[in-house]
Chains A and B, each alone.
Chain A
Amino acid sequence: MNEMDNKWIGKNTIRPDGADKVTGRAEYAADTIMPGMIWGKVLRSPHPHATIKSINTKKAEKLDGVFSVATSADCVDFPVDTPVILGIQDIRWMARNVLAKEKVLFHGHPIAAVAARTEEIAEKACELIEVDYDVHPWAIEIDDAIKPDAPILHDFIKFDGKPSNIVGTLEHKKGNIEEGFKDADIIIEKEFETAAVHQGYLETHACLVSVSPDDKTIIWSSSQGQFMVRAMTSFITGIPQSSIRAIPAEIGGGFGGKTIVYLEPVATILSKKSGRPVKMVMTREEVMRASGPTSGSKSKVKIGAKNDGKITAAQGTFYLQAGAFPGAPIRGAAGCCLAPYDIPNAHTFGYDVVSNRSKVAAYRAPGAPIGAYAVECVIDEVAEALKICPLEFRLKNAAKQGTKAVHGPTYPVMGYVETLEACLSHPHYKAPLKKLQGRGYASGFWFNAGGESSAQVNITEDGNVVVTTGHPDIGGSRASIANITAELLGIDVNRVSVLIGDTASIGFSNLTGGSRVLFASALVVTESTNQVIDILKDRASKIWNIDKEAIEWENGQARPAGDNAGKFKPLTLVELAEKATPTGGPIGAGHQVNTVGAEGGFATHICDVEVDIELGIARVIRYTAAQDVGKAIHPAYVEGQLQGGVVQGIGWALNEEYIYNKEGKLDNPGFLDYRIPVCSDLPMIDTILVEVPNPKHPQGVRGVGEVPIVPPLSAIANAIYNAIGTRFYSLPMSPPKILEKISD
Chain B
Amino acid sequence: MSEVKFISPETLEQAVDAYYKSSKEGKTKILAGGTDLLVQIRSGISQPDTIIDIKNIKELKEISNDNGSYTIGAAVAGAVLDEEEDFGNNWPGVLEALRLIGSEQIQGRASLGGNLCNASPAGDSVPALIASGATVKVHGPEGERNMPIESFHAGPGKTNLKNGEIVVNFQFPKKQKCSGDAYLRMIPRTEMDIAVVGCAVNVTIENDKCVDARVALGAVAPTALLVEDASKALIGSNFEKEAVEKAALACEAACNPIDDKRGTISYRKKVSKVLFKRALEKAIERAKKG
Contacts and interface: CB of A to CB of B under 8 A. Distances in A.
B192 interface: yes
Interface string B185-199: 010111111101000
Contacts of B261: 659, 667-668, 673
Given A121-B1, A659-B261, A672-B193, A739 B267 contact: yes
B274 interface: yes
Interface string B258-287: 000111101100110010000000000000
Given A118-B1, A615-B186, A739 B191 contact: no
Given A118-B1, A614-B274, A659-B261, A678 B192 contact: yes
Contact of A677 (B189, B196, B271): B189
Nearest to B278: A614
Contacts of B1: 118, 120-121, 124
Interface in A662-704: 667-668, 672-673, 675, 677-678, 680-681
A655 B261 CA distance: 11
Nearest to A673: B261
A667 B194 CA distance: 15
Nearest to B259: A736
A72 B88 CA distance: 60
B72 to A, nearest CB: 27
Interface in B227-241: none
Identify which of B194, B196, B267, B270 gathers the most chain A CB atoms within 10 Å of its CB. B267
Interface residues of A, number: 28
Interface string A109-128: 00000000010110010000
Contacts of A739: 267, 270-271
Identify which of A118, A124, A285, A739 gathers the most chain B CB atoms within 10 Å of its CB. A739
A203 to B, nearest CB: 18
Contact of A680 (B190, B262, B263, B266): B190
B242 to A, nearest CB: 19
Contacts of A5: none
A616 B274 CA distance: 11
Contacts of A736: 263-264, 267
Contacts of B190: 619, 678, 680-681
A681 B189 contact: yes
A635 interface: no
A535 interface: no
B267 A655 contact: no
B114 to A, nearest CB: 17
A200 B194 CA distance: 19
Contacts of A681: 189-190
Contact of A734 (B188, B193, B270, B271): B188
13 contacts: A615-B186, A619-B190, A667-B261, A668-B261, A673-B194, A673-B262, A678-B192, A681-B189, A735-B196, A739-B267, A739-B270, A739-B271, A740-B266
Given A118-B1, A735-B263, 13 more contacts: A120-B1, A615-B274, A654-B188, A667-B261, A673-B194, A673-B262, A678-B192, A680-B189, A680-B190, A680-B191, A734-B188, A735-B186, A736-B264
Closest 4 CB pairs of A and B: A736-B267, A680-B190, A120-B1, A614-B274
Interface of B: 1, 43, 186, 188-194, 196, 261-264, 266-267, 270-271, 274
